[in-house]
Structure 1
Amino acid sequence: MSDAYLALEDGRVLEARGRVPGRTRGELVFTTAYTGYEESLTDPSYEEQVLTFSYPLIGNYGVRDERFESSRVHPRAAIAREFTDDVVEWLSDEEVPAIDHLDTREVVTSVRDQGAMKCGIAVGDDVTPEDAKAELKQCKGMSEHVDIGKQVSTPEPEFFEGDDGGSDATVALVDCGAKGSITSSLVARGADVHLLPYDVSADDVAALDPDVLFVSNGPGDPENFTQAEALVDHFVGDLPIAGICLGQQVVANALGGSTEKMTFGHRGVNQPVRDLDTNQVVMTTQNHGYTVADPGELDVTQVNVNDDTAEGLESEELNVITRQYHPEANPGPHDSLDFFDDVLAMADEETEVALAD
């Protein structure tokens, strides 16, 4: 084992046990999920962040790559009360620094009370608190990465054929950092999915003749995804439009709304969401640090029970439906899987109208 230090933006330096050596920095966030560490660590929405697990033991059911949501680990570092050797071996292979044997309750409550903060991490046989402070100092001088989409998006278009017996819809999925489960959820329902780069042009989308434009989740500030926003503005009224997480924020910005950064965000698998029409509450999986402040031309249809932030936006007139949470879960409850059915039903209805014309 090696030495490890975590330098926080509030001036504290916490000592820990080093599990994977390295030095890094990023925005310190936490997840309350008690399962799904493989899915969380491979979620592109954690790009450039330092992920703290509030659940004390991480790795108790091993590591299996069929649970991964992408091809690599995205957080810059991982923190837990205790990591098992399986997870440590995986993070070591990925060259992602990892520390444990510190009071993660203190870390989580600090972020909860003060908000997501910058941090620096130093792990190794000869590191000192000053090394972690030096990483933090570099982090403080950095602005949020404005082209973060390039780091998480597919570099080239990919095609996934839908399973037989379902919808015949063709989905243009703009990959701003999409979880693999979004694609598989659509494919399982019969949709053909074109996974497209985050900066794909409107002409390239139009050439696919899709039945729905779908903007995915992703990391960072939604205002950085200007091309995805331009696509929504270009196709709204002509194509049904859907979005998940960052996708909801991008759609709202494109349609006259606005977004803002939250104090510490929603990250976990137990966020309660209330539907304003039915008053039904479902439990959801979430991972985001921004929220829709003004829905613009859209109607708020669902809200978070804890803080009343917008969780669902819709417009029947514009054929738009979005969710702030992750209906595909993985990990998490499957209360809201029918969102994908609603999206494809919207696309199928549009196709029927076109055929009738």
Structure 2
Amino acid sequence: MSDAYLALEGGRVLEARARAPGTARGELVFTTAYTGYEESLTDPSYEEQVLTFSYPLIGNYGVREERFESERVHPRAVVALELTDDVAAWLEHEEIPAIDHLDTRDLVTEIRDTGAMKCGIAAGPDATPEDALAELAECKGMSEHTDIGAQVSVDERYTVEGGEYDVALIDCGAKGSITSSLTDRGADVHVLPYDTTPAEIRELDPDVLFISNGPGDPANFTAARELVEEFVGDLPIAGICLGQQIVARALGGETEKMVFGHRGVNQPVRDLRSGRVVMTTQNHGYTVAEPGPELDVTQVNVNDDTAEGLENDELDVITRQYHPEANPGPHDSLDFFDSVLELADRPVATAD
């Protein structure tokens, strides 16, 4: 007898096994990552989403806090073919509903074919299909969260020391390994709230302005966009994932929501200048549709030609749509952080 239910926007209600009790609603997405479940579950970019793992067994090497990318689990619920007891216990402790013993191959195929969809979950001994449908109905009636940055950003600035450069990292939902990738290369990283003002940046006087990854629609991160508009031409500017989208919008580009996004550790990216293809880690549901007049597309996704890298050498702007810090994933693109810090040693041109 089932004790968990997943109600899909398309009308189906799937039966499952409850692994961590509770109810939840959100956007149902999937990741193709077969390792790194601890990093994925603590990635702030999954805020307000229900995460489905396409890999069949999640938890086969336990749960270790040193692998976490933030202080808590961010998806509203977790779906898998099979969750180990370690992961189930962790999610229950975090009060995140989790279900397994359902056909995730079929579920991922549906998401891939029809797009990310809203869903409702009910799990536990008293759960009913009606409970899941009620969660779905609530989710359908919700407007998009326009201030999602407040849920994932730091409240106050803090600094992680690393060396001679000063990097102002605007935390729109930053993974911890972005900070460590910079400090390992000799930077003091000042982690700042997502709504930091230009005056605060001027007071800090950093060598680089860095816009982080994060969840949701880049159009909702107006404060970060205004920072880019204010300091382009005065400071080197870098961005990862959501950060690339924010930078593009600030410089006249356009973004759009993808059908089901890129989430996984096996996304191939081609550099247009060298022809080199690297494998990358990705987690995003929006993309840069038009880069605008100031930015050149320097890297593209091999599968769908979406923009994976944007640059302006004269203005010292460099961004990546994927996660070069990996964790989880291949380390093919770690040299991105070297390129970012090299900008701190170069004079910046004046924006037109």
Relative to the length of structure 2, the TM-score reads 0.98
Task: Name the amino acid aligned to 1:291.
Answer: T
Partner of 1:19: 19
Q: Deviations over 1:95-131 (max 9, x none)?
A: 0000000000011001000000000000111111111
User: Would you say 1:222 and 2:214 are equivalent positions?
Assistant: no
- Contact 2:281 2:322 (C-alpha < 8 Å) held by counterparts: yes
Alpha-carbon deviations, 1:222-246, whole Å to 9, x = none?
A: 0000000000000000000000000
CA contact (8 A) 1:27 1:116 kept: yes
Distance in 1, Cα, partners of 2:11 & 2:344: 52
Match of 2:167 in 1: 171
1:2/1:19 contact within 8 Å kept = no
SS at match of 1:325: coil
| SS of 1:321 mapped into structure 2 | strand
* Residue 5 (structure 2) pairs with residue 5 (structure 1): yes
1:208 aligns with 2:201: no
Q: Is the 8 A contact 1:2 1:124 kept in 2?
A: no
Q: Which residue of 2 aligns with 1:321?
A: 318
Q: Which residue of 1 aligns with 2:89?
A: 89
Rounded to whole Å, the distance in 1 between the matches of 2:39 and 2:327 is 7
Matched, 1:270 2:269: no
2:32 pairs with 1:35: no
The Cα shift of 1:349 comes to: 2.2
Partner of 1:243: 239
Unmatched 5+ stretches in structure 1: none
Aligned length: 348
Percent identity among equivalent residues? 78
SS in 2 for 1:120: strand
Task: Give the corresponding residue for 2:187.
Answer: 191
Match of 1:158 in 2: 158
Letter in 1 for 2:334: L
Amino acid at match of 2:287: T
1:348 CA displacement = 2.1
Superposition RMSD in Å: 1.1
Determine the C-alpha separation between the residues in 2 that align with 1:2 and 1:197.
Answer: 43
Matched AA of 1:308:
D
1:260 aligns with 2:295: no
Equivalent residue runs for 1:27-176 within 5 Å: 27-163=27-163, 168-176=164-172
Give the distance between the partners of 1:319 and 1:2, measured in 2 at CA: 56
Task: Please point out which of 318, 328, 331 is paired with 1:331.
Answer: 328
Deviations 1:189-245 (A, max 9, x none): 010000000000010011111000000000000000000000000000000000000
Show structure 1 runs of 4+ deviating over 3 A. none
Q: Is structure 2 residue 300 aligned with structure 1 residue 303?
A: yes
* Paired letter, 1:298: L
Q: Is the 8 A contact 1:298 1:313 kept in 2?
A: yes
Name the CA distance, whole Å, in 2 between partners of 1:45 and 1:2: 31
Task: Give 5+ residue unaligned stretches, structure 2.
Answer: none
For each residue in 1:27-56, what CA deviation from the matched residue of structure 2 results, as whole angstroms up to 9, or x when unmatched? Answer: 000000000000000000000000000000
Over residues 67-88 of structure 1, what are the superposed CA-to-partner deviations in whole Å (9 max), with x where a residue is unaligned?
0000000000001000000001
Q: Which amino acid aligns with 1:242?
A: A
Distance 1:224 1:239 in 2: 23
Q: Distance in 1 between matches of 2:112 and 2:322?
A: 19
TM-score by length of 1: 0.96
Displacement of 1:143 after TM fit?
1.5
Alignment of 1:278-297 (within 5 A): 278-296=274-292, 297=294
Residue in 1 that maps onto 2:346: 349
Structure 1 counterpart of 2:183, which letter? V
1:233 paired with 2:220, answer no
Cα contact 2:2–2:15 (8 A) shared by 1:
no
- Report the AA paired with residue 199 of structure 1: D
Matched to 2:275, the amino acid is: N
Say which SS state the counterpart of residue 3 (structure 2) adopts.
strand
* Aligned mates of 1:26, 1:145 — CA distance in 2: 11
CA distance in 1, matches of 2:204, 2:226: 17
* Secondary structure at the counterpart of residue 260 of structure 1: strand
Contact 2:2 2:16 in 1 (8 A): no
Q: For residues 160-183 of structure 1, give each alpha carbon's deviation from its aligned partner in whole angstroms, at most 9, with x where no partner exists.
A: 0005xxxx2100000000000000
SS of 1:242's equivalent in the other structure is strand
Q: In structure 1, how many angstroms separate the alpha carbons of the residues matched to 2:192 and 2:107?
A: 37
User: Deviation of residue 2 (structure 1)?
Assistant: 6.8
SS at match of 2:99: strand
Other structure's SS at 1:130 match: helix
